[in-house]
Amino acid sequence: MNVGGTTVKMSRTLFAPAVRYSLLSVGQMTEEKNWIFVFDKSECRIYDAQSRELIGRTPKRGRLYKLGGTA
């Protein structure tokens, strides 16, 4: 997964070849990466919980917030 131009490795993931998109567990990311997610009507912003530094942002498309990356 790509967040703010940085590739992020995720553990304990499942591969579902029939699913068109990869899904992200926000709960898993807040626990494993210690990130804060802020959602509003136009975008999602991701912050480092310790430094409060902005890690990345992604626009809302329809009802989804799409992050860069590969399946």
pLDDT in tens, 10-28: 777 777 888 877 777 888 8
Amino acid making up residue 25: S
Strand runs (DSSP E) across 1-71, as ranges? Answer: 2-3, 6-7, 35-39, 43-48, 54-61, 64-65
Residues of the chain falling short of pLDDT 50: 70-71
Q: Kindly report the backbone phi and psi dihedral angles of residue 26, in degrees, each rounded to the nearest multiple of 5, phi listed first.
A: -60, -40
Q: How far apart are CA 30 and CA 35, in angstroms?
A: 5
What is the pTM for the complete model shown?
0.73
Residue 16 region, left (φ>0) first, then alpha (ψ -120 to 50), else beta?
A: beta
Both tokens assigned to 57: 């942002």
How confident is the model at residue 42, as a pLDDT?
94
